[in-house]
Amino acid sequence: MAACRGKSLLTQQAWRFFQRNFSQTTPVAAQLTVRDALNAAIDEEIKRDPRVFLMGEEVAHYDGAYKVSKNLWKKHGDGRIIDTPITEMGFAGLAVGAAMAGLRPICEFMTFNFSMQAIDQVINSAAKTYYMSAGMVPVPIVFRGPNGSAVGVAAQHSQCFAAWYGHCPGLKVISPWSAEDCKGLLKSAIRDPNPVVFLENEVMYGQPFEMSEEAMSENFLLPIGKAKIERAGNHITLVAHSRLVGVCLDAAKELAGMGVECEVINMRTIRPMDEETIVKSVMKTNHLVTVEGGWPQFGVGAEICARIMEGPSFNYLDAPILRVTGADVPMPYAKTLEDNANPQAGNIIRSVKKSLNIK
């Protein structure tokens, strides 16, 4: 700005023109928060397909409790962005009905904790109808909202639903990590002809990520059911989803300093699970640690363990698979207790060392 002072208006305009063109021709990575990536995905899909609408508590006038739908109501109006009363069972059911009858609802739960009020509609109505009707009634709907442990909100507002929904045939379940994941997978979810549960992370909305020019485009889609290797390594595989992918990368960095090279897999989709990527990685590293925020029993990690046992990579393992999970307790409010109920990089490092038998 200071450099412009004193220049004629004409040269300033020319300079701006040059800048604009310059940034168009060179693929400078943009920074985008998870929130803005989700917002863009919804915005673009609503523009693209007249059947798509967003419905939920506080999504319109208030811009969303977590501001994910910021400006969308102003842009698209009452017909497409719809505030509901606090009646999860009612509006989830209504959205499922609308999907059966040809629309493409995005049904927001203010947080997934409240989806339990509506879980019958998600599972009994949305997930099973296509099967029950022998293919006559598809249910193209996205249930989305914040998931996972939040901060300082105690037991009823702090939990992960990946295993809950991952259990149920008929659903697709996505648990993205980065802004790129969020944008590409939410767009794919909205276009998918099936009911999709889309688990955003409650504490990651404000986190910025680099976005490639491709990811910024309106045509950017990521395939549902494919994991992504976020970091390649030969010594041990870490498989995680959502926020814990970032924690794995932190742990991997620290472990690299000790000469341990972790391969970090971002699952992206919980169901259908990309077994192949995990299996291939295990065949390469011979060691596996699963990492998730949810409870251990019948969890995502437990399922991965079972699949490895049943699959071709079992004989490649040099050590038992270890799980890093949330502690097996309801979430406490007090900070120290809460910190110890949520997995940290330390838990991952300790498990990696145990697996590799490093003292």
Partner 1 sequence: MLSAVRQRLLILPKSLLGSTYQANSYATEATFKTSPYKLHLLETGPSTEVTMTRDEGLQYYRQMQVIRRMETVAGNLYKAKAIRGFCHLYSGQEAVCTGMEAAITKEDAVITAYRAHGWTYVRGVSVHGVLAELTGRATGCTQGKGGSMHMYAKNFYGGNGIVGAQVPLGAGIAFALKYQKKNNVCLALYGDGAANQGQLFEAFNMSQLWKLPVIYICENNGYGMGTSAERASANTAYYKRGDYIPGIWVDGMDVLAVREATRFAKDYVLKNGPILIETATYRYSGHSMSDPGTSYRTREEIESVRGKRDPIFNLKEKLLSSGFSTEQDLKNIESDVRKEVDEASEKAKTDPELPLEELYNHIIVDPPSDMRVRGCDVTISAPTKG
Ligand X SMILES: Cc1ncc(C[n+]2csc(CCOP(=O)(O)OP(=O)(O)O)c2C)c(N)n1
> Which stretches of the chain bind ligand X, using CB under 6 A?
57, 86, 88, 110, 114, 117
Are 198 and 172 within 8 A, CB to CB? Answer: no
Residue 152 binds which one of partner 1, ligand X, none, with CB within 5 to 8 A depending on kind?
partner 1
The residue among 110 and 196 lying less far from partner 1, judged by its C-beta, is: 110
Distance of alpha carbon 220 from its chain centroid, rounded?
A: 16
Residues in contact with partner 1, total (CB under 8 A)? 49
- Residues 277-306 touching partner 1, rule: CB under 8 A, are 296
Site string for partner 1, 141-180 (x = CB under 8 A): ---------xxxxxxxx-----------------------
The residue among 114 and 143 lying less far from ligand X, judged by its C-beta, is: 114
State which of residues 92, 127, 341, 356 lies at the interface with partner 1 (CB under 8 A). 341
Distance of alpha carbon 20 from its chain centroid, rounded?
A: 33
Give the list of residues 6+ apart from residue 305 with CB closer than 8 angstroms, or none.
290, 321, 323
Both tokens of 131, joined, read 């099967």
**What are residue 139's DSSP bridge partners?**
none
**What are residue 104's DSSP bridge partners?**
52
276 is catalytic: no
Quick check: 329 binds partner 1 (CB under 8 A)? yes
Q: C-beta of 154: minimal distance to partner 1 in Å?
A: 5
Helix (H) or strand (E) holding 191: helix 179-191
Quick check: 90 binds partner 1 (CB under 8 A)? yes
Rounded Cα distance, 76 and 53, in Å:
9
88 is catalytic: yes
44, 45, 88, 108: which is the annotated catalytic residue?
Answer: 88
Q: What does the angle CA 241 – CA 246 – CA 252 come to, to the nearest 5 degrees?
A: 110
Quick check: 245 binds partner 1 (CB under 8 A)? no
Q: C-beta of 77: minimal distance to ligand X in Å?
A: 23
**What are residue 147's DSSP bridge partners?**
201
Give the list of residues 6+ apart from residue 75 with CB closer than 8 angstroms, or none.
43
Hey, what amino acid is at 31? Answer: Q
Which residues are catalytically annotated? 88, 157
**Site residues, partner 1 (CB under 8 A):** 57-58, 61-62, 65, 83, 85-87, 89-90, 113-114, 116-117, 150-157, 296, 322-330, 332-337, 340-344, 347-348, 350-351, 354
